[in-house]
Chains A and B, each alone.
Chain A
Amino acid sequence: MQTPIIKLTNLHKSFNRLHVLKGINLDIHEREVICVIGRSGSGKSTMLRCINFLEEPSEGEIEIGDLKIPAGGKGKAHQGLVHQARLLTGMVFQEFNLFPHYTVLENVMRPPIIVKGMNPARALEIAEMNLDRVGMLFKKDEYPSRISGGQKQRVAIARALAMEPRVMLFDEPTSALDPELIGEVLNVMKKLAMDGMTMIVVTHEMGFAREVADRVLVMADGELIEDGKPEQIFNAPKDPRTEALIVRYRTGGN
């Protein structure tokens, strides 16, 4: 097998006394779609946020592409590595976090100009292509306050894609949405997965995990308790905590 695009080695994270991640080891390969499930507080969001250093890990090492970034680094060299790691990853947040003072188009177009110094004509081209990809080109001149939550999240996905990342990170992308708006976002993500994008999705959407994921990771108490194909996780979970997590989904049958 080729070398993984993301490799977490013995990753720990503590917030003061609270030990949130207790030694995560994980390999993720290109074109894989990974869903991370687990109860709230299990550390799944923290793991995701460590990958692009929104949280500095306390211990261990993160490899992204050719970058090797040990925990606890300081100074310019470390900052440089973190910056490059962020360029390789695109992040989609639960709360969208669109820039309210920019139009939909500017949200997608301006970051490559600001961060990469891309020329505006090229940035415009890429922005329109990605807005089209998520079906939001028709709202390009609106401000975020004038579009729905689902539409905001689709724009946020386009914004991340416009930076041309190699891995997309999704932090509970549908948890802040009204039920009727979840579908449109999941559909965009499904399309992205089919296009071969490497994705790590922290989610509570079991249906999505089962249908789209190549691998499902289950987290509990800051540890990875299970890692396998969706069929295995959903049909024959090894850990009773996984069982408890998916039992409602299995009996509910939606």
Chain B
Amino acid sequence: MPTEQSDTPNTSRQSRIAPSLERMAEWPWWLIVAILIALFIVLQITTNQRMSVIFGAIAAGIGVTIRVTLTAYFAAVLIGLIVGFARVSSNKVILNVASFYVEVVRGVPILVLLMYIAFVAVPIVAEMLGVRTRDFPNELRVILGLAIAYGAFESEIFRAGIQSIEKGQMEAARAIGMSYFQAMRYIILPQAIRRVLPALGNDFVAMLKDSSLVSVLGVEDITQITKLYAASTFLFFQSYSILAFIYLSMTILLSRLVRSLETRLSAHR
């Protein structure tokens, strides 16, 4: 609305080409620029020998990035579901334990949490179990760290989703004779999940981006490989451009997927 208002006095005074200029001002220029840059990078990768070597080297880590993202995300959703339930529990002990976890984890930077779990928590647990710390591969540790960090966020999403369902739904289910868990499973959760799907989808994309943090622990995802490659070849500009390009392609693709899933699931609402 504000743009319309400021534009109106101009158009009235200007010549016939003004309307088309005005329409051009509304174009998504950022998208055009982004597409041009992407095309340029694709062209470079396909035609330029050196660029295609760099791309090949970095792309070798895509498998790790995807694996870390997927496993950590699904573990986080599982943790989030359980903790989300706990956060709406009437049992005060369960409620407090869950709240402690959520508040602590949300208040610590993910990077710090990741290092804490990898270097502090895992060794302690390993000692308790009587196994050697180095039997825990780094990839497992970072997956655990990401899952625990994101589990807190997902639990908040589930909690909000469950609490957003009208009280009458639970009452009707209970009055019919369903147990609390049957009511949750068949009545509350299906509605809650549909409502929080956009938020869950956003966090999937966010997880993909935050999976780059695992490079700090030496896990060879695309970020780590780029770091090492750039440092040894001094091709910083090319390497990091390709890295950013790969992340961007993946996140844009994912966002599209998530959005089409949402539309399909909310068809009858």
Report A's interface with B, CB cutoff 8 A: 52, 54, 83, 86-87, 89-91, 93, 95, 97-101, 110-111, 114-116, 143, 145, 156, 159-160, 163
Question: In chain B, residues 142-195, which have Cβ atoms closer than 8 Å to a Cβ of chain A?
Answer: 166, 168-169, 171-179, 182, 186-187, 190-191, 194
B134 within 8 A of A: no
Count of inter-chain pairs, beta carbons less than 8 A: 59
- From A86, A114, A145, B175 is in contact (CB under 8 Å) with A86
Q: How far is the CB of B177 from chain A (nearest CB, A)?
A: 4
Which B residues are CB-close (under 8 A) to A54? 171, 174-175
A95–B176 touching, CB < 8 Å: no
Q: Name the residue of chain B whose CB is nearest to the CB of A91.
A: B175
A93 touches B172 (CB 8 A): yes
Question: Are B172 and A99 in contact, with the CB atoms below 8 A?
Answer: yes
Q: Point out the residue from A86, A93, A97, A99 that lies within 8 Å of B177, measured CB to CB.
A: A86
Partner of A159, one of B174, B176, B186, B191: B176
B269 within 8 A of A: yes
Q: Which residues of chain A have C-beta atoms less than 8 A from B174's C-beta?
A: 54, 86
Check B171–A97 contact: CB distance below 8 A: yes
- How many B residues face the partner with a CB closer than 8 A? 20
Closest residue of chain A to B176, judged by CB? Answer: A111
Interface flag for B268 (CB, 8 Å)? yes
Chain A CB within 10 Å — which of B168, B172, B174 has the most? B172
- Contact, CB under 8 Å: A97 / B191: no
What are 14 A-to-B residue pairs whose CB atoms are below 8 Å? A54-B174, A54-B175, A83-B179, A86-B174, A87-B177, A93-B168, A93-B171, A99-B191, A101-B194, A111-B177, A115-B182, A143-B269, A145-B269, A163-B176
Q: Out of B178, B191, B268, B269, which one reaches A111, CB within 8 Å?
A: B178
- Tell me the bound Cα distance from A145 to B177 in angstroms: 24
Which A residues are in CB contact (< 8 Å) with B178?
A: 111, 114-115
Most A Cβ at <10 Å: residue of B186, B190, B194: B186
Q: How far is the CA of A52 from the CA of B174 in the complex (A)?
A: 9
**Shortest beta-carbon contacts, A-B, top 5:** A97-B172, A97-B168, A91-B175, A115-B177, A86-B177
What is the CA–CA distance of A240 and B194 in the complex, to the nearest angstrom?
53
Chain B residues with CB under 8 A of A115? 176-178, 182
**Residue of B at shortest CB range from A98?**
B172
Residues of A close to B190: CB separation below 8 A: 101
Q: Which one of B166, B177, B191 contacts A101 once the chains associate, using CB atoms below 8 Å?
A: B191
Given A93-B171, A97-B168, A100-B191, list of 7 further CB < 8 A pairs? A54-B175, A91-B176, A97-B166, A100-B269, A101-B191, A110-B186, A111-B176
Q: Bound complex: CA of A163 vs CA of B172, how far in Å?
A: 13
Determine how close the nearest CB of chain A comes to the CB of B111; give it in whole angstroms.
39
List B contacts of A93 (CB < 8 A).
168, 171-172, 175
A43 to chain B, nearest CB (A): 18
Rounded to whole angstroms, the CA-CA distance of A83 and B178 in the bound complex is 8
Q: How far is the CA of A30 from the CA of B166 in the complex (A)?
A: 33
A99 close to B168 (CB less than 8 A): no
B265 to chain A, nearest CB (A): 10
Nearest-neighbor residue (CB-CB) of A145 within chain B:
B269
Which of B166, B177, B178, B182 neighbours the largest number of chain A CB atoms within 10 Å of its CB? Answer: B177
Q: Which residues of A contact B191 (CB under 8 A)?
A: 99-101
Task: Point out the residues of chain A lying under 8 angstroms from B269, CB to CB.
Answer: 100, 143, 145
CA distance A115 to B182 in the complex (A): 8
Please give, as numbers and ranges, the residues of chain B lying within 8 Å of A95 by CB-CB distance.
166, 168
Contact between chains at B171 and A163 (CB < 8 Å): no
Closest to B179 in A: A83
Among residues of A, the one whose C-beta sits closest to the C-beta of B169 is: A97
| Neighbouring B residues of A116 by C-beta, 8 Å | 177
A163 and B177 within 8 A (CB): yes
Bound together, the chains give a CA A114 to CA B183 distance in angstroms of: 9
Per the bound structure, the CA–CA distance linking A90 and B177 in Å amounts to 9
CA A236 – CA B10 in complex, angstroms?
80
Nearest chain A residue, comparing its CB with the CB of B194: A101
* Chain B residue at minimal CB-CB distance from A52: B175
User: A56 to nearest B CB, angstroms?
Assistant: 12
Query: Which residues from A are CB-within-8-Å of B175?
Result: 52, 54, 86, 89-91, 93
Residues from chain A with a CB closer than 8 A to the CB of B187 are 99
Enumerate chain A residues within 8 angstroms of B172, measured Cβ to Cβ. 91, 93, 97-99, 156
Whole-angstrom distance between the Cβ of B233 and the nearest chain A Cβ: 55
